[in-house]
Amino acid sequence: MTTFKTKTITIGLALGVAVVTLTGPVQADVNAPLAALGPPPIPLDNKQTPEKIELGKLLFFDTRLSGDASVACSTCHEPKQGWGFSGDISRGYPGTIHWRNSQTVVNSAYYGKLFWAGSAKSLEGQAPSAARGGVAGNLERDIGTARLAFIPEYRKRFKDVFGDEWPKIKNAWRAIAAFERTMVQTDTPFDKYMKGDKSALSEEAVRGKGIFEGKANCIECHNGALFSDQQYYNLGVPRAETWLDNGLAQITFRFEQYAKGVTQKMYRSIKDDAGFYYRTKQVDDKGKFRTPSLRYTLYTAPYMHNGTFFDLQEVVEFYNEGGGTNEFSANKTDLIKPLNLSEDEITDLVAFLESLSGDEIKMSSPKLPPYAPLPNPVK
């Protein structure tokens, strides 16, 4: 069983069987065997309803939940781009650029740690962090609340779903989280294989599974039904090339150093993303990032926190060579070492990784409700 905390309660997630509610703090099982993916955990204080999910879908695609009304959740998490963004570094708020790769929304419902450095503990916490981030949505709470109030259909929907007399911005994040919890994929070839359909995987993928669990030891960190232990590691991922010649990216990078409270010396000298360090301020955490799930990765290239690798073959070859080097290589995990995989073994391992994705999840942007004058007099 893999378990983790949500924002307000502790959820136990039996990924392969059912959802179990626990009452005490628990730690993730970092040695969980591979398993089929079960239903996502649903927080007790934000239960799913069809009406809430539909409202969340509208808000997910609505650019009015950003500072200049030009950026939506879907801007950086596009359905046609794996519900992420196909560039190495994600889009930024107009006039800025982002500084990390955009992760997919698909299966994000299973994470107990959102963002590359785990700064949000639930989808309800992730949504406002992104919408209000200086290089992301740049939204002010009062502006977002006011805009929702000027949309009659939203006023009705928020009242029907949450009982709000006027839309509350915190409930917008709860609705978006509810929609995102529907973005799961539990019918991949791997899941079918683990449920008994031994024809679901090709011979290459079956061999690749053995390599994944054996010689390559990918399972050390990519384990359980989610294929992630949700821990933090420095793999020696090289610096993003964008930092070398893109002036706006360099300005963004310095802004993030200032915003995250690094020392003056570090601000003036750092050239790599310090990752988990920004949260802990522990030197040993520089360059560490949370283990991402390997599910749905067929559609989510490029890979790593800075989009360094553009296909799964490159990723496997990186690990086969024993990782790389970066500014914080002193913290590089001892788990990364040359694998000595042959070309055929690399091919088989990639085939297995591809089996962790099912059919592409497609969705058209919904028609959004328009603004309208407030009723006169306002009640």
Number of domains composing the chain: 1
Phi and psi torsions of 3, nearest 5°: -130, 150
65 within 8 A of 131, measured Cβ to Cβ: yes
Could you tell me the two tokens for 86?
């196909």
4: pLDDT strictly greater than 80:
no
Q: Which of the four pLDDT bands, split at 50, 70 and 90, describes residue 2?
A: very low
DSSP string, 155-221: HHHHHHHH--SS--HHHHHHHHHHHHTT-----SHHHHHHTT-TTSS-HHHHHHHHHHHTTT-GGGT
Mean pLDDT of 27-48: 88
Q: Which of the four pLDDT bands, split at 50, 70 and 90, describes residue 5?
A: very low
Could you tell me the two tokens for 315?
């990723």
CA dihedral 14, 18, 21, 27 (to 10 degrees): 0
Task: Determine the pLDDT at residue 28.
Answer: 52
Residue 54 lies in a domain: yes
Among 5-14, 79-88, 218-227, the minimum mean pLDDT is found in 5-14
Residue 328 lies in a domain: no
Task: Determine the pLDDT at residue 379.
Answer: 65
88 within 8 A of 237, measured Cβ to Cβ: no
Residue 232 CB-half CA count within 13 A: 23
In angstroms, the Cα distances linking 299 to 4, 159, 190, 224, 317 are: 27, 37, 16, 21, 19
Tell me the C-alpha distance between 218 and 220, whole Å: 5
Average pLDDT, the chain: 91
Task: Determine the pLDDT at residue 13.
Answer: 36
- Give the torsion sign (CA, 306, 311, 314, 316): positive
For the chain, the residue count is: 379
177: pLDDT strictly greater than 80:
yes
Residue 79 lies in a domain: yes
Structural domain of 123 = 43-180
150 within 8 A of 378, measured Cβ to Cβ: no
Residue 70 lies in a domain: yes
Residue 323 lies in a domain: no
Residue 151 lies in a domain: yes
Task: Determine the pLDDT at residue 183.
Answer: 98
Tell me the C-alpha distance between 9 and 32, whole Å: 22
Among 346, 345, 272, 361, CA closest to 311: 346
Residue 12 lies in a domain: no
Mean pLDDT of 294-310: 97
Among 10-19, 65-74, 97-106, 306-315, the minimum mean pLDDT is found in 10-19
- Give the CATH number of the domain where residue 162 resides: 1.10.760.10
Predicted confidence (pLDDT) per residue in 226-279, tens digit: 999 999 999 999 998 887 888 999 899 999 999 999 999 999 999 999 999 999
Q: Which of the four pLDDT bands, split at 50, 70 and 90, describes residue 29?
A: low
Predicted confidence (pLDDT) per residue in 191-213, tens digit: 999 999 999 999 999 999 999 99
Q: Which of the four pLDDT bands, split at 50, 70 and 90, describes residue 361?
A: very high
By the 10 Å C-beta count (0-12 exposed, 13-18 middle, 19+ buried), 255 is classed as: middle
pTM (2 decimals)?
Answer: 0.91
CA angle 85/316/37 to nearest 5° reads: 65
Residue 321 lies in a domain: no
Task: Determine the pLDDT at residue 376.
Answer: 78
